[in-house]
């Protein structure tokens, strides 16, 4: 389960920001996860709670904002929303799609004390 390693990275980012900005507690960690990122939001919630134990993020709520996958269709010159890779363009049915968004996962914001 790679979500565990991702959560360890998130807690590392939170701890680094706590050192830089001198906050003592994290209440909310807001993540942005793209639909094409191959990250399971429910698994992230489960893993985050386990990884955050005994850290500055212990007890913090994990909020996840899911962003859609987007692509540029070379056949019809349209920007389209896609649910997964290798599906046809919803506008013209063509398969010449260049992914333009939805692959990312990032810490969007922290709510701290």
Tell me the domain boundaries of the chain: 2-68+101-112
Read off the pLDDT band of 44 (50, 70, 90). very high
71 half-sphere exposure, CB direction, 13 A CA radius: 25
Q: How high does pLDDT run on average in the chain?
A: 95
Residues 6+ apart with CB under 8 A from 40: 3
pLDDT of 107 reads 97
Does residue 101 have a pLDDT over 80?
yes
Mean pLDDT in residue range 12-34: 96
pLDDT tens digit sequence for 58-94 = 999 999 999 999 999 999 999 999 999 999 999 999 9
For residue 16, the 8-state DSSP code is H
Architecture of domain 2-68+101-112: 2-Layer Sandwich (3.30)
pLDDT of 1 reads 57
pLDDT of 95 reads 96
Share of the chain above pLDDT 70, in %: 99
Mean pLDDT in residue range 1-26: 94
């Amino acid at each position: 389960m790679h979500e565990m390693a991702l959560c360890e990275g998130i807690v590392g980012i939170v701890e680094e920001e706590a050192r830089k900005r001198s906050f003592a507690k994290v209440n909310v960690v807001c993540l942005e996860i793209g639909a094409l990122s191959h990250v399971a939001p429910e698994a992230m919630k489960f893993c985050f709670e386990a990884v955050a134990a005994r850290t500055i993020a212990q007890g913090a709520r994990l909020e996840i904002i899911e962003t859609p996958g987007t692509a540029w269709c070379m056949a019809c010159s349209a920007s389209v929303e896609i649910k997964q890779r290798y599906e046809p363009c919803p506008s013209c049915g063509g398969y010449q799609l260049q992914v333009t968004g939805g692959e990312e996962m990032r810490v969007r914001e922290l709510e701290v004390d």
